[in-house]
Protein backbone atom coordinates (compact mmCIF):
# COMPACT_ATOMS: atom_id res chain seq x y z
CA UNK A 1 0.00 0.00 0.00
CA UNK A 2 1.23 3.52 -0.83
CA UNK A 3 0.87 5.89 2.11
CA UNK A 4 1.35 9.66 2.02
CA UNK A 5 2.20 10.74 5.56
CA UNK A 6 1.48 14.42 6.29
CA UNK A 7 3.15 16.03 9.32
CA UNK A 8 3.96 19.74 9.49
CA UNK A 9 6.60 19.04 12.14
CA UNK A 10 8.95 16.18 11.38
CA UNK A 11 12.56 15.10 11.82
CA UNK A 12 14.99 16.70 12.69
CA UNK A 13 12.45 18.45 14.94
CA UNK A 14 11.58 16.16 17.81
CA UNK A 15 8.58 15.71 20.04
CA UNK A 16 6.55 12.72 21.06
CA UNK A 17 4.65 12.52 17.77
CA UNK A 18 7.78 12.94 15.66
CA UNK A 19 9.76 10.32 17.61
CA UNK A 20 6.82 7.92 17.39
CA UNK A 21 6.46 8.45 13.64
CA UNK A 22 10.18 8.04 13.01
CA UNK A 23 10.06 4.55 14.53
CA UNK A 24 6.61 3.58 13.25
CA UNK A 25 7.05 4.41 9.55
CA UNK A 26 10.14 2.23 8.91
CA UNK A 27 8.39 -0.61 10.75
CA UNK A 28 5.34 -0.23 8.48
CA UNK A 29 7.62 -0.05 5.44
CA UNK A 30 9.09 -3.39 6.53
CA UNK A 31 5.51 -4.74 6.39
CA UNK A 32 5.35 -3.83 2.70
CA UNK A 33 3.90 -0.31 2.81
CA UNK A 34 5.53 2.33 0.64
CA UNK A 35 5.60 5.54 2.69
CA UNK A 36 6.59 9.10 1.85
CA UNK A 37 6.44 12.07 4.26
CA UNK A 38 5.29 15.59 3.43
CA UNK A 39 6.57 18.11 5.98
CA UNK A 40 7.35 21.77 6.58
CA UNK A 41 10.71 23.07 5.33
CA UNK A 42 11.61 24.89 8.51
CA UNK A 43 14.26 26.24 8.79
CA UNK A 44 14.43 27.01 5.05
CA UNK A 45 17.92 25.53 4.72
CA UNK A 46 16.63 22.05 5.52
CA UNK A 47 16.97 19.70 2.56
CA UNK A 48 13.93 19.72 0.29
CA UNK A 49 14.30 15.95 -0.08
CA UNK A 50 15.96 13.51 2.28
CA UNK A 51 15.89 9.82 3.12
CA UNK A 52 15.85 9.05 6.86
CA UNK A 53 15.72 5.44 8.05
CA UNK A 54 14.68 4.42 4.55
CA UNK A 55 11.72 6.84 4.49
CA UNK A 56 11.65 9.60 1.88
CA UNK A 57 10.90 13.05 3.31
CA UNK A 58 9.77 15.89 1.03
CA UNK A 59 9.77 19.34 2.58
CA UNK A 60 7.96 22.45 1.36
CA UNK A 61 7.72 26.05 2.70
CA UNK A 62 4.09 25.40 3.54
CA UNK A 63 3.47 28.19 6.04
CA UNK A 64 5.13 30.78 3.83
CA UNK A 65 2.86 29.64 1.02
CA UNK A 66 -0.21 30.48 3.08
CA UNK A 67 1.01 34.10 3.15
CA UNK A 68 1.99 34.43 -0.50
CA UNK A 69 -0.51 33.56 -3.23
CA UNK A 70 2.17 33.00 -5.87
CA UNK A 71 4.13 30.66 -3.63
CA UNK A 72 0.89 28.93 -2.61
CA UNK A 73 0.09 28.29 -6.27
CA UNK A 74 3.54 26.78 -6.89
CA UNK A 75 3.44 24.54 -3.82
CA UNK A 76 -0.09 23.39 -4.60
CA UNK A 77 0.98 22.51 -8.14
CA UNK A 78 4.05 20.61 -6.95
CA UNK A 79 2.11 18.69 -4.31
CA UNK A 80 -0.71 17.85 -6.71
CA UNK A 81 1.88 16.55 -9.18
CA UNK A 82 3.51 14.51 -6.40
CA UNK A 83 0.15 12.99 -5.50
CA UNK A 84 -0.55 12.05 -9.12
CA UNK A 85 2.85 10.41 -9.52
CA UNK A 86 2.83 8.63 -6.16
CA UNK A 87 -0.88 7.70 -6.37
CA UNK A 88 -1.38 7.11 -2.63
CA UNK A 89 -3.88 4.57 -1.41
CA UNK A 90 -4.11 6.44 1.89
CA UNK A 91 -3.28 9.86 3.34
CA UNK A 92 -2.29 9.75 7.01
CA UNK A 93 -2.12 13.10 8.82
CA UNK A 94 -0.76 13.31 12.36
CA UNK A 95 -0.15 16.95 13.26
CA UNK A 96 -2.60 19.79 12.89
CA UNK A 97 -1.01 22.49 10.73
CA UNK A 98 -0.33 23.73 7.24
CA UNK A 99 -0.10 20.19 5.89
CA UNK A 100 -3.82 19.74 6.52
CA UNK A 101 -4.57 22.75 4.30
CA UNK A 102 -2.47 21.40 1.45
CA UNK A 103 -3.77 17.89 1.88
CA UNK A 104 -7.25 19.30 1.40
CA UNK A 105 -6.59 21.58 -1.59
CA UNK A 106 -4.64 18.91 -3.50
CA UNK A 107 -7.31 16.24 -3.05
CA UNK A 108 -8.76 15.03 -6.36
CA UNK A 109 -12.55 15.37 -5.95
CA UNK A 110 -13.18 12.73 -8.62
CA UNK A 111 -10.81 10.17 -7.09
CA UNK A 112 -10.46 11.17 -3.43
CA UNK A 113 -7.79 9.47 -1.34
CA UNK A 114 -9.06 8.14 2.01
CA UNK A 115 -7.80 10.09 5.02
CA UNK A 116 -6.69 8.71 8.36
CA UNK A 117 -6.25 11.31 11.11
CA UNK A 118 -4.21 10.43 14.20
CA UNK A 119 -5.15 12.77 17.03
CA UNK A 120 -2.68 13.26 19.89
CA UNK A 121 -4.11 15.12 22.86
CA UNK A 122 -5.84 18.50 22.99
CA UNK A 123 -5.28 21.63 20.96
CA UNK A 124 -5.68 25.24 22.15
CA UNK A 125 -9.19 26.60 21.75
CA UNK A 126 -8.22 28.93 18.90
CA UNK A 127 -7.61 25.86 16.72
CA UNK A 128 -10.93 24.17 17.48
CA UNK A 129 -12.67 25.22 14.27
CA UNK A 130 -9.76 24.14 12.08
CA UNK A 131 -9.41 20.85 13.95
CA UNK A 132 -13.12 20.21 13.64
CA UNK A 133 -12.91 20.62 9.87
CA UNK A 134 -9.96 18.23 9.65
CA UNK A 135 -11.80 15.58 11.66
CA UNK A 136 -15.01 16.02 9.66
CA UNK A 137 -13.13 15.27 6.43
CA UNK A 138 -11.50 12.14 7.84
CA UNK A 139 -12.41 8.58 6.89
CA UNK A 140 -11.10 7.33 10.25
CA UNK A 141 -9.93 9.03 13.46
CA UNK A 142 -7.36 7.24 15.64
CA UNK A 143 -6.86 8.73 19.12
CA UNK A 144 -3.92 8.10 21.44
CA UNK A 145 -6.05 7.70 24.57
CA UNK A 146 -9.64 7.28 25.68
CA UNK A 147 -9.50 10.84 26.97
CA UNK A 148 -8.43 12.10 23.52
CA UNK A 149 -11.27 10.10 21.99
CA UNK A 150 -13.74 11.86 24.27
CA UNK A 151 -12.17 15.20 23.34
CA UNK A 152 -12.60 14.43 19.62
CA UNK A 153 -16.35 14.14 20.10
CA UNK A 154 -16.46 17.50 21.88
CA UNK A 155 -14.63 19.37 19.10
CA UNK A 156 -16.14 17.51 16.14
CA UNK A 157 -19.52 16.06 17.13
CA UNK A 158 -20.59 16.11 13.49
CA UNK A 159 -17.72 13.98 12.21
CA UNK A 160 -19.14 10.74 10.82
CA UNK A 161 -15.88 8.78 10.54
CA UNK A 162 -15.34 5.76 12.80
CA UNK A 163 -13.09 6.52 15.78
CA UNK A 164 -10.79 4.24 17.71
CA UNK A 165 -8.03 4.33 20.31
CA UNK A 166 -4.45 3.32 19.48
CA UNK A 167 -2.26 4.11 22.47
CA UNK A 168 1.36 5.05 21.94
CA UNK A 169 4.11 2.51 22.50
CA UNK A 170 7.89 2.30 22.48
CA UNK A 171 10.28 -0.55 21.85
CA UNK A 172 12.24 -1.99 24.76
CA UNK A 173 15.60 -0.16 24.84
CA UNK A 174 18.90 -2.02 24.72
CA UNK A 175 19.98 -0.18 27.88
CA UNK A 176 19.51 -2.38 30.96
CA UNK A 177 17.79 -0.75 33.97
CA UNK A 178 20.33 0.23 36.65
CA UNK A 179 19.80 0.42 40.43
CA UNK A 180 18.46 3.71 41.74
CA UNK A 181 21.24 6.27 42.28
CA UNK A 182 22.53 6.99 45.78
CA UNK A 183 21.91 10.72 45.34
CA UNK A 184 18.21 11.49 44.60
CA UNK A 185 17.92 12.69 41.02
CA UNK A 186 14.75 14.00 39.41
CA UNK A 187 14.32 14.12 35.64
CA UNK A 188 12.03 16.31 33.56
CA UNK A 189 12.19 15.56 29.82
CA UNK A 190 10.27 17.20 27.00
CA UNK A 191 9.64 20.39 25.14
CA UNK A 192 10.07 23.47 27.31
CA UNK A 193 6.69 25.04 26.64
CA UNK A 194 4.02 26.21 29.05
CA UNK A 195 1.71 23.22 28.71
CA UNK A 196 4.51 20.91 29.91
CA UNK A 197 4.51 22.66 33.31
CA UNK A 198 8.28 22.67 33.87
CA UNK A 199 7.87 25.82 35.98
CA UNK A 200 5.71 23.73 38.34
CA UNK A 201 8.48 21.14 38.55
CA UNK A 202 10.99 23.85 39.51
CA UNK A 203 8.72 25.16 42.25
CA UNK A 204 8.15 21.62 43.49
CA UNK A 205 11.88 20.93 43.47
CA UNK A 206 12.50 23.96 45.67
CA UNK A 207 10.21 22.29 48.23
CA UNK A 208 11.90 18.90 47.78
CA UNK A 209 15.28 20.45 48.63
CA UNK A 210 13.98 21.45 52.06
CA UNK A 211 13.53 17.75 52.91
CA UNK A 212 16.26 16.29 50.70
CA UNK A 213 19.04 18.90 50.32
CA UNK A 214 21.25 16.51 48.32
CA UNK A 215 18.64 16.08 45.57
CA UNK A 216 19.35 17.20 42.02
CA UNK A 217 17.09 18.01 39.06
CA UNK A 218 17.92 17.49 35.38
CA UNK A 219 15.82 19.21 32.70
CA UNK A 220 16.28 17.61 29.28
CA UNK A 221 14.82 19.46 26.31
CA UNK A 222 14.55 22.88 24.76
CA UNK A 223 11.81 25.28 23.80
CA UNK A 224 10.47 28.82 24.08
CA UNK A 225 10.19 28.75 27.88
CA UNK A 226 13.83 27.94 28.58
CA UNK A 227 15.06 31.51 29.34
CA UNK A 228 12.14 32.10 31.73
CA UNK A 229 12.70 28.74 33.40
CA UNK A 230 16.39 29.44 33.96
CA UNK A 231 15.47 32.80 35.51
CA UNK A 232 12.90 31.11 37.74
CA UNK A 233 15.50 28.62 38.98
CA UNK A 234 17.73 31.54 39.94
CA UNK A 235 14.87 33.38 41.66
CA UNK A 236 14.01 30.25 43.66
CA UNK A 237 17.63 29.87 44.72
CA UNK A 238 17.93 26.37 43.25
CA UNK A 239 20.01 27.01 40.12
CA UNK A 240 23.09 25.22 41.52
CA UNK A 241 21.04 22.04 41.94
CA UNK A 242 19.36 22.22 38.51
CA UNK A 243 20.97 21.27 35.20
CA UNK A 244 19.42 22.38 31.90
CA UNK A 245 20.72 20.00 29.22
CA UNK A 246 19.03 21.67 26.25
CA UNK A 247 18.14 19.73 23.10
CA UNK A 248 18.47 16.02 23.82
CA UNK A 249 18.52 13.25 21.22
CA UNK A 250 15.73 10.69 21.72
CA UNK A 251 18.18 7.80 22.00
CA UNK A 252 19.81 9.50 25.01
CA UNK A 253 16.63 9.39 27.10
CA UNK A 254 17.01 5.80 28.42
CA UNK A 255 20.51 6.62 29.71
CA UNK A 256 19.22 9.78 31.42
CA UNK A 257 16.41 7.77 33.01
CA UNK A 258 18.92 5.21 34.22
CA UNK A 259 20.71 7.97 36.11
CA UNK A 260 17.46 9.27 37.64
CA UNK A 261 15.43 8.25 40.69
CA UNK A 262 12.09 9.43 39.35
CA UNK A 263 10.58 11.03 36.24
CA UNK A 264 8.39 14.07 36.88
CA UNK A 265 5.59 14.88 34.43
CA UNK A 266 4.07 18.13 35.77
CA UNK A 267 2.03 18.79 32.61
CA UNK A 268 -0.83 21.24 32.42
CA UNK A 269 -1.96 19.34 29.31
CA UNK A 270 -0.69 16.10 27.85
CA UNK A 271 -1.87 13.07 25.94
CA UNK A 272 0.04 9.78 26.20
CA UNK A 273 3.70 10.84 26.35
CA UNK A 274 6.38 8.45 25.19
CA UNK A 275 8.77 9.46 27.96
CA UNK A 276 6.36 8.04 30.54
CA UNK A 277 6.53 4.67 28.79
CA UNK A 278 10.30 4.94 28.49
CA UNK A 279 10.58 5.62 32.23
CA UNK A 280 8.56 2.50 32.96
CA UNK A 281 10.81 0.37 30.77
CA UNK A 282 13.80 1.67 32.73
CA UNK A 283 11.96 0.73 35.97
CA UNK A 284 11.59 4.34 37.08
CA UNK A 285 8.39 5.45 38.80
CA UNK A 286 6.64 8.53 37.44
CA UNK A 287 5.13 11.37 39.41
CA UNK A 288 2.61 12.97 37.08
CA UNK A 289 -0.26 15.40 36.97
CA UNK A 290 -3.56 13.60 36.42
CA UNK A 291 -4.28 15.21 33.04
CA UNK A 292 -4.99 13.90 29.55
CA UNK A 293 -4.12 10.27 29.05
CA UNK A 294 -1.69 10.07 31.98
CA UNK A 295 -4.23 8.33 34.27
CA UNK A 296 -4.52 5.66 31.55
CA UNK A 297 -0.75 5.15 31.59
CA UNK A 298 -0.06 5.29 35.33
CA UNK A 299 -1.82 3.24 38.01
CA UNK A 300 -1.80 5.44 41.10
CA UNK A 301 0.49 4.07 43.82
CA UNK A 302 1.05 0.87 41.82
CA UNK A 303 3.26 2.04 38.93
CA UNK A 304 3.66 5.70 39.87
CA UNK A 305 1.92 8.57 41.63
CA UNK A 306 -0.76 10.87 40.21
CA UNK A 307 -1.38 14.32 41.68
CA UNK A 308 -3.67 17.23 40.93
CA UNK A 309 -2.59 19.52 38.12
CA UNK A 310 -1.05 22.93 38.90
CA UNK A 311 -0.01 21.79 42.38
CA UNK A 312 3.76 22.04 43.09
CA UNK A 313 3.19 21.08 46.71
CA UNK A 314 1.57 17.79 45.73
CA UNK A 315 4.35 17.09 43.25
CA UNK A 316 6.96 17.69 45.95
CA UNK A 317 5.18 15.50 48.50
CA UNK A 318 4.96 12.61 46.04
CA UNK A 319 8.63 12.90 45.06
CA UNK A 320 9.74 12.99 48.71
CA UNK A 321 7.67 9.86 49.44
CA UNK A 322 9.57 8.00 46.75
CA UNK A 323 12.96 9.32 47.83
CA UNK A 324 12.36 8.39 51.46
CA UNK A 325 11.06 4.92 50.63
CA UNK A 326 13.41 3.52 47.96
CA UNK A 327 12.06 -0.02 48.40
CA UNK A 328 8.59 1.16 47.41
CA UNK A 329 10.07 3.19 44.58
CA UNK A 330 11.80 0.09 43.20
CA UNK A 331 8.57 -1.89 43.47
CA UNK A 332 6.62 0.77 41.57
CA UNK A 333 9.28 0.89 38.85
CA UNK A 334 9.26 -2.86 38.32
CA UNK A 335 5.47 -2.95 38.21
CA UNK A 336 5.52 -0.11 35.67
CA UNK A 337 7.91 -2.02 33.40
CA UNK A 338 5.76 -5.15 33.57
CA UNK A 339 2.61 -3.18 32.75
CA UNK A 340 4.16 -1.49 29.71
CA UNK A 341 5.58 -4.76 28.41
CA UNK A 342 2.14 -6.34 28.72
CA UNK A 343 -0.07 -3.49 27.49
CA UNK A 344 2.02 -1.15 25.33
CA UNK A 345 4.20 -3.31 23.13
CA UNK A 346 5.60 -1.58 20.08
CA UNK A 347 4.79 -4.62 17.96
CA UNK A 348 1.12 -4.18 18.89
CA UNK A 349 1.26 -0.55 17.73
CA UNK A 350 2.65 -1.64 14.37
CA UNK A 351 -0.03 -4.32 14.06
CA UNK A 352 -2.75 -1.80 14.88
CA UNK A 353 -1.70 0.72 12.23
CA UNK A 354 -0.97 -1.99 9.66
CA UNK A 355 -4.50 -3.33 10.11
CA UNK A 356 -6.02 0.15 10.17
CA UNK A 357 -4.30 1.15 6.92
CA UNK A 358 -5.85 -1.87 5.22
CA UNK A 359 -9.23 -1.27 6.80
CA UNK A 360 -9.48 2.42 5.89
CA UNK A 361 -8.29 1.89 2.30
CA UNK A 362 -10.66 -1.00 1.71
CA UNK A 363 -13.57 0.66 3.47
CA UNK A 364 -13.30 3.71 1.24
CA UNK A 365 -13.59 1.43 -1.78
CA UNK A 366 -16.76 -0.15 -0.45
CA UNK A 367 -15.06 -3.40 0.59
CA UNK A 368 -15.36 -4.89 4.10
Centre a 10 Å sphere on the Cβ of residue 252 and count the other Cβ atoms it contains.
12
- Asked whether residue 191 falls in the same domain as residue 72, the answer is no
- pLDDT for res 347: 96
- pLDDT for res 346: 96
- Asked whether residue 215 falls in the same domain as residue 244, the answer is yes
- Tens digits of per-residue pLDDT, 272-296? 999 999 999 999 999 999 999 999 9
- Asked whether residue 193 falls in the same domain as residue 322, the answer is yes
Q: Looking at residues 182-189, what average pLDDT do you find?
A: 97
Number of domains in the chain: 2
pLDDT band for position 368 (cuts 50, 70, 90): very low
Q: Looking at residues 229-257, what average pLDDT do you find?
A: 96
Q: Does residue 119 fall inside a structural domain?
A: yes
Q: Does residue 226 fall inside a structural domain?
A: yes
Q: Does residue 221 fall inside a structural domain?
A: yes
Residue 364 has pLDDT above 90, yes or no: no
- pLDDT for res 367: 40
- Asked whether residue 61 falls in the same domain as residue 116, the answer is yes
Q: Which residue has the higher pLDDT, 109 or 238?
A: 238
Residue 362 has pLDDT above 90, yes or no: no
What does DSSP assign to residue 321? Answer: H
- Asked whether residue 302 falls in the same domain as residue 330, the answer is yes
Q: Looking at residues 329-356, what average pLDDT do you find?
A: 97
* Run of H or E including 105: helix 98-105
Sheet holding 286-289, edge to edge: 242-246, 216-220, 185-189, 262-265, 286-289, 304-307
CATH of residue 251: 3.40.50.2000
Integer angstrom CA distances of residue 129 from 17, 137, 141, 145, 331? 22, 13, 16, 21, 45
Range of the domain at 258: 185-343
Residue 95 has pLDDT above 90, yes or no: no
Q: Does residue 240 fall inside a structural domain?
A: yes
Q: Does residue 246 fall inside a structural domain?
A: yes
- Asked whether residue 102 falls in the same domain as residue 164, the answer is yes
Q: Does residue 175 fall inside a structural domain?
A: no
Q: Does residue 242 fall inside a structural domain?
A: yes
Q: Does residue 180 fall inside a structural domain?
A: no
What does DSSP assign to residue 366? Answer: T
- Tens digits of per-residue pLDDT, 165-181? 999 999 999 999 999 99
Write b or e for each residue in 325-336: b if 16 or more Cβ atoms lie within 10 A of its Cβ, otherwise e: eeeebbebbebb
- Asked whether residue 118 falls in the same domain as residue 150, the answer is yes
Average pLDDT, the chain: 94
- Asked whether residue 220 falls in the same domain as residue 135, the answer is no
* Residues forming beta bridges with residue 119, ordered by sequence position: 143
Burial class (CB in 10 A: 0-12, 13-18, 19+), 236: middle
- Asked whether residue 35 falls in the same domain as residue 140, the answer is yes
- Asked whether residue 149 falls in the same domain as residue 238, the answer is no
- Asked whether residue 31 falls in the same domain as residue 81, the answer is yes
- pLDDT for res 97: 86
Residue 133 has pLDDT above 50, yes or no: yes
- Asked whether residue 286 falls in the same domain as residue 215, the answer is yes
Amino acid sequence: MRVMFWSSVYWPHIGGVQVLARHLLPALAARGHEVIVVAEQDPPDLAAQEDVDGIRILRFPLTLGLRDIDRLTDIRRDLADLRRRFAPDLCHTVALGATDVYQRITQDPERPTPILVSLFGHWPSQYTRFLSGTLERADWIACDSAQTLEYSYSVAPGATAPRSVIRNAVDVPTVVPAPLPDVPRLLVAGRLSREKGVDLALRAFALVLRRCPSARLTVAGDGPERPALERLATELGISEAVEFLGWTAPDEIPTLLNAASVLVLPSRADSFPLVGLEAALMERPVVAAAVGGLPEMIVHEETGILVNAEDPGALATAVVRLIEDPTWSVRLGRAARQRVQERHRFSDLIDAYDELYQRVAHRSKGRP
